[in-house]
Amino acid sequence: MTDPEAFWDRMAHGYAKAQIRDMTSYDQTMARTRTHLSPGDKALELGCGTGTTALRLADAVEHLTATDISSEMIAIAQGKALRQGVENVAFGHASIADSGETGGPFDVVMGFNLLPLIDELPTALASIRSSVKPGGLFISKSGCLAEKSFYLRPVIALMQLFGKAPYVANLKIRTLEGLITDAGFEIIDTHTYPGIIANRFIVARRI
Ligand SMILES: C[S@@+](CC[C@H](N)C(=O)[O-])C[C@H]1O[C@@H](n2cnc3c(N)ncnc32)[C@H](O)[C@@H]1O
């Protein structure tokens, strides 16, 4: 399997230049996420990529730690924060597996377009839970390939053969929500954003 850190380091500069594919859904996701954030929140975003979302949500919380397994992504994000003059976001290099050791516990932990890329999801969700305060929130948005995008599987498999795609779990919404619930969360808000892949927005409260 492709090493995720090396893969995302290779992708970082292309990812930074790429346009958001569905800006309407992105704007709606950001607005819906904001309804769950408070000005006093200490938040963590996992798999933050080049920092677009962290910088956009920075004014909705007191402080945001944003981490990613790719140091190339983090370097780009730090440059953007400097240029934009955003001072309450700290970008750092970390794997989702280390989320319990990134300065928490947090009021809110977020992960957008991240969970399907993790091959040991129950372990990762346990680590995420340990980074959320009791009663705090885990907010995620995940492409669920098994909902209707079965025709994409062979394309992804071919791309993986040539190192052009990372590991991607073939998740159904029901499966993903079951894993989040089993990890010790109660789901309090969901929405599906349609597209080539069904993108499931899930807000879960730590029990
Ligand atoms: C599809 S990008 C999404 C980036 C950003 N969240 C967004 O929505 O634009 C996935 C990101 O997750 C990061 N990532 C992949 N595996 C990870 C892991 N095990 N721990 C932390 N970050 C990871 C990648 O480096 C990449 O930046």
Domain ranges of the chain: 4-206
- State which fold the 4-206 domain adopts: Rossmann fold (3.40.50)
| pLDDT given for residue 100 in this prediction | 78
Distance from residue 47's CA to the centre of ligand 1 (Å): 4
- pTM for the structure as a whole: 0.96
Task: Please give the Cα distance from 118 to 143 (Å, whole number).
Answer: 12
Distance from residue 85's CA to the centre of ligand 1 (Å): 23
Q: Which residues line ligand 1 (CB under 6 A)?
A: 4, 8, 46-49, 52-53, 68-70, 73, 95-96, 112-114, 117-118
Of 93, 65, 87, 91, residue with least CA distance to 78: 91
Q: Which numbered atom of ligand 1 lies nearest the CA of 45?
A: 6
| pLDDT given for residue 188 in this prediction | 98
| pLDDT given for residue 49 in this prediction | 98
Distance from residue 111's CA to the centre of ligand 1 (Å): 8
Mark the ranges of the chain whose per-residue pLDDT is less than 70.
1
| pLDDT given for residue 1 in this prediction | 62
